[in-house]
Chain A
């Protein structure tokens, strides 16, 4: 299957700082990537859909000015948590769907980034 790499795997930062998380599709082009947040013992919550070359589409209730998403190329999307606070501590996961013309729609996930805000 396709490979999606996410970096960093974990990050600890002070309250008020910004953190950038990268998501790369290593062996395919991803016109669309997705960003999720997952709190302990809860399911994935879709935050936004990242489209290459255009603005991200945010889900209801997700602050677009706080969670900045950039999808500058077909293989890279970034999520920046701006002015992070302890309540932003969570497991952030990206995913991508490989478009082959006969897309099946399955998602390939990055390894996830565990953010802890002190």
Chain B
């Protein structure tokens, strides 16, 4: 079992729809959870981080964390073609920056 698992996709949604990306993790000691976006041929960039159970909203993005279920998700509302990318879920058990990454979910938003 991988430490961090994501649906590989590809996930395709129409423009304006909600895209839902899911991630599960195995280490119950995990403290910090991150979502990164990676465009093809580029390096990842941070979208959101979350530490506490519940929802965290930032613009069109909402991260959801359920530590009991070891589950973290990212919702993208009003999806735009520019959101088309690979989304990486990352989990850390420390605050020193070492994170374990999932394999990523490729999202395509169709105009």
A75: interface (CB < 8 Å): no
Chain B neighbourhood of A107, CB < 8 A? 34, 36, 44, 46, 90, 97, 99
Q: Per-position contact with A for B42-53: 1 when CB-CB < 8 Å, else 0?
A: 111110010100
Q: Per-position contact with A for B25-51: 1 when CB-CB < 8 Å, else 0?
A: 000000110101000001111100101
The docked-state distance in angstroms from the alpha carbon of A95 to that of B94 is 16
Sort chain B's interface into a size bin: 20 to 34
**Docked-complex contact B98 and A49, CB < 8 angstroms:** yes
Number of A residues near B (Cβ < 8 Å) is 23
B93 to chain A: closest residue by CB = A105
User: How would you classify the secondary structure of chain B's contact residues: helix, strand, loop or mixed?
Assistant: loop
Q: Given that A43-B88, A106-B34 are contacting pairs, would A96 and B97 also be in contact in the complex, using a CB cutoff of 8 Å?
A: yes
User: Can you pick out 26 interface pairs between chain A and chain B where the beta carbons lie within 8 Å of each other?
Assistant: A32-B97, A32-B98, A34-B97, A42-B103, A43-B88, A43-B101, A43-B102, A44-B44, A46-B100, A49-B98, A93-B44, A103-B96, A104-B49, A104-B51, A105-B34, A105-B49, A105-B97, A105-B99, A106-B32, A106-B46, A107-B34, A109-B36, A109-B44, A110-B43, A111-B42, A112-B43
Chain B residues in contact with chain A, CB under 8 A?
Answer: 31-32, 34, 36, 42-46, 49, 51, 88, 90, 92, 94-104
